[in-house]
């Protein structure tokens, strides 16, 4: 009975994480994230993994991106890991309409288009365990390169199509996470907050979810995310996301 009460109290704490810390707006979007991953332990402390993902936006009516990534992670010491990864993203860039200097007349229109992005990242993760509660901090440098794409931007006045020029972007992502390992229970809840910093704060992602392990090899996760976009140049609206993932551990 007491154990049940404890679980319920902790579950309540994690459910509180479901509520984003900033107020949501009526025009917020909703989307889904689907991820499938496989992980293999190569050596002691060294794991490699590969994952595929698919995301939607526009209340799940529009495909947002496809991604394929590989990552290697090495445990330096008990509480510190380092990892590096590469992702190939096929991104459904959102429509953009830029205005002229008068801020009234439309200048250039870029309808939505699928375009490739290359992304690399290097992360350091530190964690401490307090009883069954784990607190971790991950600092990730992320570099994304978007190659030039021809004839995707329409100059309204000139009635001509122009290329969308190549672009690269550096981000420092800082994530703090709490997770709890219930004894004799296969569901492990977690909450985290992640800040995306360019030269300024670009977005904040709040997450809460639960992992379910089946026979140690199969890990399922159901996640709720709220993404508060501040100065993100992809002009994304704030979005609620539900993520479903599966990881197979060799």
7 or 240: whose CB is closer to other proteins?
A: 240
d(CA 104, CA 107): 9
Which of 32, 28, 38, 35 is closest to 52 using CA atoms? 35
d(CA 149, CA 152): 7
Provide the pairing of β-strand 106-110 with 113-130. unpaired
d(CA 176, CA 191): 9
Q: CA 48 → CA 37, 45, 62, distances in Å?
A: 11, 10, 32
DSSP 8-state symbol, 12 = H
95 or 233: whose CB is closer to other proteins?
A: 95
33 or 141: whose CB is closer to other proteins?
A: 33
CB of 181 to other proteins, least distance (A): 26
94 or 169: whose CB is closer to other proteins?
A: 94
Residue with tokens 């030039």: 148
- Edge-to-edge strand ranges of the sheet holding 96-99: 96-99, 106-110, 149-155, 160-164
CB of 93 to other proteins, least distance (A): 11
139 or 233: whose CB is closer to other proteins?
A: 233
157 or 233: whose CB is closer to other proteins?
A: 157
Give residues in contact with other proteins (CB under 8 A).
32, 34, 54, 56-58, 60-64, 94-95, 97, 99, 104-106, 109, 111-112, 154, 156-157, 159, 244
CB of 248 to other proteins, least distance (A): 17
CB of 233 to other proteins, least distance (A): 18
CB of 125 to other proteins, least distance (A): 30
Chain mean position to CA 29 = 15
C-alpha dihedral, 21 to 137 to 189 to 62, nearest 10°: 60
CB of 106 to other proteins, least distance (A): 4
Residue with tokens 């993932």: 245
């Amino acid at each position: 009975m007491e154990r049940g009460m404890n679980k319920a109290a902790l579950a309540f704490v994690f459910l509180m994480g479901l509520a984003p810390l900033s107020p949501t707006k009526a025009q917020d979007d909703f989307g889904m994230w689907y991820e499938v991953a496989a992980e293999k332990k190569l050596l002691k402390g060294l794991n490699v993994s590969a994952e595929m993902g698919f995301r939607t936006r526009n209340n799940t009516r529009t495909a947002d991106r496809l991604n394929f990534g590989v990552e290697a992670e090495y445990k330096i010491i008990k509480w510190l890991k380092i990892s590096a990864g590469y992702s190939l993203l096929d991104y459904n860039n959102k429509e953009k309409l830029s205005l002229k200097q008068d801020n009234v007349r439309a200048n250039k229109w870029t309808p939505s288009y699928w375009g490739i992005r290359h992304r690399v990242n290097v992360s350091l993760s530190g964690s401490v365990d307090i009883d069954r509660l784990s607190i971790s901090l991950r600092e990730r440098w992320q570099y994304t390169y978007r190659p030039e794409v021809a004839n995707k931007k329409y100059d309204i006045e000139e009635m001509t199509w122009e290329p969308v020029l190549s672009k690269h972007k550096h981000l420092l992502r800082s994530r703090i996470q709490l997770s709890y390992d219930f004894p004799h229970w296969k569901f492990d809840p977690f909450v985290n907050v992640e800040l995306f910093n360019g030269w300024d704060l670009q977005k904040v992602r709040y997450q809460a979810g639960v992992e379910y392990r089946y026979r140690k090899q199969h890990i399922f996760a159901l996640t709720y995310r709220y993404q508060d976009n501040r100065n993100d140049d992809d002009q994304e609206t704030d979005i609620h996301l539900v993520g479903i993932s599966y990881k197979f551990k060799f």
